[in-house]
């Protein structure tokens, strides 16, 4: 027993050093090593883990209304509540897209990004302390959301929200449930406001 303890006592400092070393290495692992290479779009399509039908159901909500403009305006105000910056707003197609920055992974280390410029192929992030394009890990902190509105039938509309975080599609239904709860509340207020405004209007003979 004494012998066991002696061996353990010798191994402990080595183990501790190794643990600290690996832990530090783990924290400073370059961006690339924590993401698989995605060589083409086919791989990205295959990345979706949940059932597409299930995901689509979680992302969609039916509303008993046909006023596209009202629902689009309510989506915009809900996204404003969530501090989203709006990038796309197309009334005809019924699309609203926006982004916000959630520094969850790496909080403040002096690499404060100033500006995100996102287009189809690139994401440029400017930072005054990092004089290059990047830093890359801030791509992970970007939450992006697209909300679409389409008619379901003569009396209903379908709103679908799809979010991206950590470069991947958000497949957990809970964030979507919370988004739709906020949207429903905003829509209720919107409808009430419209009714009040109609009530205030003077009756013309």
Partner 1 sequence: MEHKQAVWIALLFTGGLFLQACAPPQPGPNLLAPTAAQMKLRSYQSRSFEATDPSQAMRGVVAALQDLGFIIERANEPMGLVTAARFAEPNYTDVMGITVTVRSQTEGHMMIRANAIYNNKPIEDPKVYQNFFATLERSLFITKE
Which spans of this chain sit near partner 1 (rule: CB under 8 A)? 3-4, 7-8, 10-12, 14-16, 18-19, 22-23, 25-27, 29, 33-34, 69, 72-73, 76-77, 80-83, 85-86, 89, 91, 101-102, 104-105, 112-116, 126, 128, 140, 143, 145, 161, 163, 165-166, 170, 172, 174-176, 178-179, 181-182, 193, 196-197, 200-202
| Residue number with CB closer to partner 1 (110 or 153) | 110
Phi/psi of residue 50, nearest 5 degrees? -75, 165
Longest dimension (CA), the chain: 104
Three-class SS state of 127: strand
Of 138, 191, 185, 192, the C-alpha closest to 165 is: 138
| Residue number with CB closer to partner 1 (43 or 105) | 105
| Residue number with CB closer to partner 1 (63 or 98) | 98
| Residue number with CB closer to partner 1 (23 or 62) | 23
| Residue number with CB closer to partner 1 (156 or 196) | 196
Three-class SS state of 73: helix
CA–CA separation, 149 vs 162, rounded Å? 12
**Gyration radius from the chain CA atoms:** 24
**Minimal distance in Å, beta carbon 178 to partner 1?**
4
CA–CA separation, 29 vs 37, rounded Å? 15
| Residue number with CB closer to partner 1 (153 or 205) | 205
CA–CA separation, 162 vs 98, rounded Å? 11
b/e burial code for range 113-137 (CB count within 10 A of at least 16 → b): beebeeeeeebebebeeeeeebbeb
CA–CA separation, 15 vs 87, rounded Å? 51
CA–CA separation, 164 vs 198, rounded Å? 39
């Amino acid at each position: 027993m004494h012998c066991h303890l002696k061996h353990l006592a010798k191994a402990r400092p080595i183990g501790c050093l190794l643990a600290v070393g690996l832990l530090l290495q783990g924290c400073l692992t370059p961006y690339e090593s924590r993401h698989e290479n995605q060589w083409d779009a086919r791989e990205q399509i295959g990345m979706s883990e949940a059932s597409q039908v299930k995901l689509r159901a979680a992302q969609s909500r039916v509303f008993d209304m046909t006023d596209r403009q009202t629902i689009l305006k309510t989506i915009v105000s809900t996204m404003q509540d969530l501090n989203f910056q709006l990038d796309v707003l197309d009334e005809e197609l019924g699309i609203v897209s926006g982004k916000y920055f959630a520094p969850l992974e790496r909080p403040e280390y002096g690499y404060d990004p100033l500006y995100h410029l996102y287009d189809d192929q690139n994401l440029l992030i400017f930072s005054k302390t990092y004089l290059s394009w990047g830093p890359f890990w801030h791509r992970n902190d970007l939450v992006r959301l697209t909300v679409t509105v389409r008619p379901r039938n003569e009396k209903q509309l379908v709103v679908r929200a799809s979010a991206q975080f950590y470069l991947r599609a958000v497949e957990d239904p809970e964030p979507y449930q919370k988004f739709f709860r906020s949207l429903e509340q905003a829509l209720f207020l919107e409808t009430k406001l419209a009714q009040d405004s109609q009530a205030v209007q003077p009756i013309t003979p």
